[in-house]
Amino acid sequence: MPSHTVADLLRGLAAGDFSSEEITQQYLDAIADRDGQINSFITVTREQALEQARAADNARQRGNAGALCGLPIAHKDIFCTEGVRTSCASKMLDNFIAPYSATVVNNMASAGAVMLGKTNLDEFAMGSSNETSYYGTVRNPWNTDRVPGGSSGGSAAAIAAGLAPAATGTDTGGSIRQPAALCGLTGLKPTYGRVSRYGMIAFASSLDQAGPMARSAEDCALLLQSMAGFDERDSTSMDVHVDDYAGALDQDLRGLKIGLPKEYFSAGLDPAIGDAVHAALEEYRKMGAETVEISLPHTELAVPCYYVIAPAEASTNLSRFDGVRYGYRCENPTDLDDLYTRSREEGFGEEVKRRILVGTYALSAGFYDAYYRKAQQIRRLIKQDFTDAFKQVDIIAGPTTPNPAFGIGEKVSDPVTMYLEDIYTIAVNLAGLPALSMPVGFAGELPAGMQLIGRDFDEGRLLAAAHQYQQRSDWHLRTAPDCA
């Protein structure tokens, strides 16, 4: 079962080869048997999943099957799920039971998906390695001494370990694409506003975007079809037509112009990842695509720009966690000031506190113009770089990460080095563009990923380009050791 893609499972369910209850039980058994090594789940909703699976089987028998009817999936534990703990991997929300479900959760449930549980992540989605979780580090199934990437590392590890065929993730600066690359998966960060943020607990509101993670581009197309759409409850949701992603996967790539930013192939890129990306690009040329060297001149400013804007928005969003209305509350506070101070001191982890402090400083009187306003001006220049590039090319390609998965504990004490692991992904969020990561080979025994970036709301072209490559390769079907 672990090697089955979403598409395979949906075809098997439709043909009656197996029932949703049968495959859901298999995945639940796999979680119980193997997740002790990986730590990819925070909460497993066993009874609820089996109940949903039986309901999906009944719906299919009645001829009332939704697009994802009976498909087991996992949700990143940053999406509110009614009646189920939603923790954001933080002590602050360890006791929080969501009173409603996120639009993404509701949309996928309406399509018939079965929720296996909630996956681990960096606390409040702040991290690039899944080492900041209150519930412990997630391990990469390809090598359990290595990180799976973050912040959606639990979702990525669960799929790579064969504990779920697909999962939701969120991407603020690369948090779907980076773990997808490090775990040998396909992950899509849609255009900002394509997927509703309602019920997705905010880290940085102008950057956060939900998206699918699975083995193949075809899988991501099937999942995005149910996730995407306008939501009047989300003020950032865009009322833009949702394309038939799965139906457009067979687009002819002849004449497609692929831009290669020279800044993405410079010093700092692991040679083995560079070789894997160049080999994939050669396959695109064989399919009739053309590669063109381009420049994104403000690339080196993306990381410092992001690490002003994202913490500033985080400091505002996380101000709601004060020990009064919900979440962690310190014991025996002496007064209101003590309640606020100790609840936040004890409830937040070190990385979250670091970002709150940085963000508060950047927004403070006397520093707002020097830091936050300047970062927003740079953000506009970064967006313009992409706008200019897309006058020459149809999509942009390059490595997803500069290095393969690094060792657990290797970069915890050096946050700046950790932040640089997102150097190729962050600019996409600042520009609000869609981007996809897919596996294209290995660096030693660890997966290597290639990123495809598209114009606003052009997810269909990215998915088609990835799918055409995956029709000529099998990197996306490779399974981690002991997970076959």
| SS3 assignment for 317-337 | HHHHCCCCCCCCCCCCCCCHH
- Looking at residues 349-368, what average pLDDT do you find? 95
Q: Give 481's pLDDT tier (boundaries 50, 70, 90).
A: confident
pLDDT of residue 484: 53
Name the nearest CA neighbour of 129 among 315, 304, 353, 351.
Answer: 351
Name the nearest CA neighbour of 111 among 66, 70, 62, 176.
Answer: 66
pLDDT of residue 418: 87
Catalytic annotation, pick one of 40, 128, 151, 226: 151
pLDDT of residue 89: 98
Q: Where are the domains of the chain?
A: 6-258+392-477
User: What type of residue sits at position 457?
Assistant: F
pLDDT of residue 413: 84
Based on the residue annotation, tell me whether 175 is a catalytic residue of this protein: yes
Helix (H) or strand (E) holding 359, with range, is helix 350-363
Eight-state DSSP code of residue 88: T
Query: Is residue 1's pLDDT more than 80?
Result: no
Report the C-alpha gap between 120 and 404 in whole angstroms: 21
pLDDT of residue 179: 98
Q: Per the structure block, which two tokens stand in for 209?
A: 């975007």
- Looking at residues 31-38, what average pLDDT do you find? 97
- Looking at residues 284-303, what average pLDDT do you find? 97
Can you state the angle between helices 217-227 and 6-15, rounded to 10 degrees?
70
Query: Is residue 273's pLDDT more than 60?
Result: yes
- Report the percent of the chain where pLDDT is more than 70: 99
Q: Give 257's pLDDT tier (boundaries 50, 70, 90).
A: very high
- Looking at residues 397-424, what average pLDDT do you find? 92
pLDDT of residue 110: 98
pLDDT of residue 3: 58
Model confidence, pTM: 0.97
- Looking at residues 432-455, what average pLDDT do you find? 98
Q: Give 420's pLDDT tier (boundaries 50, 70, 90).
A: confident
Catalytic annotation, pick one of 20, 40, 76, 196: 76
Return the bridge partners of 448, or none.
441
Eight-state DSSP code of residue 92: G
Average pLDDT of the chain?
96
DSSP character string of 146-189: B---SSTHHHHHHHHTTS-S-EEEEESSSTTHHHHHHHT-EEEE
DSSP character string of 406-470: PBTTSSTT-HHHHHGGGTTTHHHHHHT--EEEEEEEEETTEEEEEEEE-STT-HHHHHHHHHHHH
Report the C-alpha gap between 90 and 120 in whole angstroms: 10
Eight-state DSSP code of residue 363: H
Report the C-alpha gap between 279 and 222 in whole angstroms: 27
**Which numeric CATH code is attached to 6-258+392-477?**
3.90.1300.10
DSSP character string of 274-327: HHHHHHHHHHHHHTT-EEEEE--TTGGGHHHHHHHHHHHHHHHHGGG-SSSSSS
Catalytic annotation, pick one of 90, 129, 133, 175: 175
Based on the residue annotation, tell me whether 133 is a catalytic residue of this protein: no
Residues with Cβ within 8 Å of residue 423, at least 6 apart in sequence: 268, 299, 302, 303, 402
Of residues 416 and 7, the one with the higher pLDDT is 7
Q: Per the structure block, which two tokens stand in for 97?
A: 């039971």
Q: Per the structure block, which two tokens stand in for 325?
A: 């209305």
- Report the percent of the chain where pLDDT is more than 90: 95
Return the bridge partners of 212, or none.
168
Based on the residue annotation, tell me whether 151 is a catalytic residue of this protein: yes
pLDDT of residue 200: 98
pLDDT of residue 412: 86
- Looking at residues 298-314, what average pLDDT do you find? 96
- Looking at residues 245-266, what average pLDDT do you find? 96
- Looking at residues 109-127, what average pLDDT do you find? 98
Per DSSP, the three-state class of 236 is: coil
Query: Phi and psi (nearest 5°) for 386?
Result: -70, -40
Eight-state DSSP code of residue 279: H
Residues with Cβ within 8 Å of residue 338, at least 6 apart in sequence: 330
pLDDT of residue 97: 97
pLDDT of residue 399: 98
